[in-house]
Amino acid sequence: MRSVTVLGATGSVGRSTLDLVERAPDRFRVRALTANCDVDALAVAARRTRAGLAVVADEACLPALREALAGSGVRATGGRHAVIEAAAGADWTMAAIVGCAGLEPVMAAIAGGGTVVLANKEPLVSAGELVLAAARASGATLLPADSEHNAIFQCFDFARPERVRRIVLTGSGGPFRDWTREAMRNATPEQAVAHPNWSMGAKISVDSATLFNKGLELIEAARLFPVPPDAIEIVIHPQSVIHSLVDYVDGSMLAQLGPSDMRVPIAHTLAWPDRMPTPMAPLDLVALGRLDFAAPDAARFPALGLARAALVAGGARPAILNAANEVAVAAFLQRRIGFLEIAAIVADTLTRYDPPAPATLDAVLAVDTEARALAGERVKDCVS
């Protein structure tokens, strides 16, 4: 029986993970669950799964969590350091904490040497070299849960990477793929989070609308797979059925297809290197009828260019890009800035801040803090 920890258990990925875990009680035992401050959902999940530990990142929420878990036998703790401590020790860890807040817990999980599944892009984007070095040092296995990177993982020949000609990341294009720049200028948070194919949290849904999600995935793919950045392409695929492709030198192209449900890639990582059943119905190709593809519009979606430039430049640039985007997306969801100002704030932050490459986790976090402060100043300028 494999012990499981879910970091970010009350989010969409966390809920999907627990759905699969609870369908196979003979295979998995829940060691720890964490959340930011969703006490009710965390307590229900912890009781239902008989978790050994439940943790809230916001320590102010700990009394409520203890009350909700009274008599359950589930231990409750709280605070940033409690989350980091909870991250270590499981055989299999789902890393699904949104944003750079998940970086330290991910590093703690990796240090434990088990299997760490990355659903949040930020650790590899902001601290990719450090994350990969830590995994090599501890012997931890890193598996991608993002549908795109999981698809590539399933199709990629790691024994002969020189035979790979291209990686093709697919993306739905988000809710604004056919909108003009002028129409996007007046887009609301409600419109931005209404993803046409996937059920996701607010932040990642906005990232999908701006295509920053694809930009972050581009950087993540360059960390995970041994190909040069210019061998990674992005293609818009509205149906979200082909989750990504690997193109080989002989002209063969391998693709992974599946429904738009995160339980498919999560199940792959839970059972890897085996397979496990999911409640998903078989893909009906006849009902689908057609699959469409288009090139992304770099002029309408400048996030792609910003992300590729950050990847090529390396150093601190990806961490700055990620931090500024998090600040800008939060401001947009709070209706403090307009939709098009998200990319503008990221670009401005990258222009104003260019520190040396961070060599330690503390240095990455310092870059993240400074980039957030600069992006926050630009948000204030937009509001005033």
CATH code where residue 230 lies? 1.10.1740.10
When pLDDT is averaged across residues 98-125 and rounded to a whole number, the result is 92
185/75 same-domain check: no
Q: What is the pLDDT of residue 195?
A: 77
Residues 6+ apart with CB under 8 A from 250: 163
Q: Is residue 152 part of a domain?
A: no
- Where residue 121 falls among pLDDT bands split at 50, 70, 90? confident
Range of the domain at 28: 2-144
Number of domains comprising the chain: 2
50/180 same-domain check: no
- pLDDT tens-digit readout, 17-65: 999 999 999 999 999 999 999 999 999 999 999 999 999 999 999 999 9
Task: Work out whether strand 232-236 and strand 164-171 pair parallel, antiparallel, or are unpaired.
Answer: parallel
Q: Is residue 273 part of a domain?
A: no
Residue 197 has pLDDT above 80, yes or no: no
Q: What is the pLDDT of residue 200?
A: 74
Report how far apart the first and last C-alpha atoms of the chain are (Å, whole number).
56
- How many CB atoms lie under 10 A from the CB of residue 186? 11
pTM score > 0.75 for this model? yes
Q: What is the pLDDT of residue 117?
A: 98
- Structural contact between residues 36 and 65, judged by C-beta atoms closer than 8 angstroms: no
- Domain end point (choices 144, 173, 205): 144
- Structural contact between residues 4 and 56, judged by C-beta atoms closer than 8 angstroms: no
Q: What is the pLDDT of residue 101?
A: 84
Burial of 294 (0-12, 13-18, 19+ CB in 10 A): exposed
Q: What is the pLDDT of residue 296?
A: 96
137/169 same-domain check: no
Burial of 132 (0-12, 13-18, 19+ CB in 10 A): middle
- Domain end point (choices 114, 144, 174): 144
- Where residue 332 falls among pLDDT bands split at 50, 70, 90? very high
Residues forming a β-bridge with 165 = none
Q: How far apart are CA 29 and CA 92, in angstroms?
A: 10
- Domain end point (choices 90, 119, 144): 144
Return the percent helix, strand and coil in the chain, to nearest 5.
50, 15, 35
Q: How far apart are CA 274 and CA 381, in angstroms?
A: 53
Amino acid at 173: G
32/79 same-domain check: yes
Q: What percent of the chain has pLDDT above 70?
A: 99
Q: What is the pLDDT of residue 198?
A: 67
When pLDDT is averaged across residues 292-307 and rounded to a whole number, the result is 97
Residue 333 has pLDDT above 70, yes or no: yes
253/105 same-domain check: no
Residue 148, φ and ψ in degrees, nearest 5: -70, -50
Residues 6+ apart with CB under 8 A from 228: none
139/163 same-domain check: no
Domain CATH for 53: 3.40.50.720
The rounded mean pLDDT for the chain is: 95
Q: Is residue 276 part of a domain?
A: no
Q: Is residue 219 part of a domain?
A: yes
Residue ranges with strand state E in the chain? 2-7, 28-35, 53-56, 75-78, 92-95, 115-118, 141-144, 164-171, 232-236, 242-248, 253-257
Q: What is the pLDDT of residue 150?
A: 98
136/164 same-domain check: no
Instruction: For helices 103-111 and 361-383, give the axis angle rounded to 10 degrees.
Output: 160
Residue 137 has pLDDT above 90, yes or no: yes
The conformation of residue 116, written as its DSSP 8-state character, comes to E
211/338 same-domain check: yes
When pLDDT is averaged across residues 104-109 and rounded to a whole number, the result is 96
211/239 same-domain check: yes
Calculate the alpha carbon distances from 339 to 209, 252, 294 in Å: 9, 40, 23
Q: Is residue 98 part of a domain?
A: yes
Q: Is residue 267 part of a domain?
A: no
Q: Is residue 239 part of a domain?
A: yes
- pLDDT tens-digit readout, 219-265: 999 999 999 999 999 999 999 999 999 999 999 999 999 999 999 99
Q: How far apart are CA 10 and CA 41, in angstroms?
A: 6
Structure-block tokens of residue 191: 């419109």
248/341 same-domain check: yes
Residue 177 has pLDDT above 70, yes or no: yes
Residue 384 has pLDDT above 60, yes or no: no
Q: How many CA atoms lie within 13 A of 255 on its CB side?
A: 14
Q: Is residue 262 part of a domain?
A: no
Sign of the dihedral through C-alpha 86, 88, 90, 93: positive
123/7 same-domain check: yes
118/192 same-domain check: no
Q: What is the pLDDT of residue 122?
A: 85
- Where residue 111 falls among pLDDT bands split at 50, 70, 90? very high
Sign of the dihedral through C-alpha 206, 211, 214, 216: negative
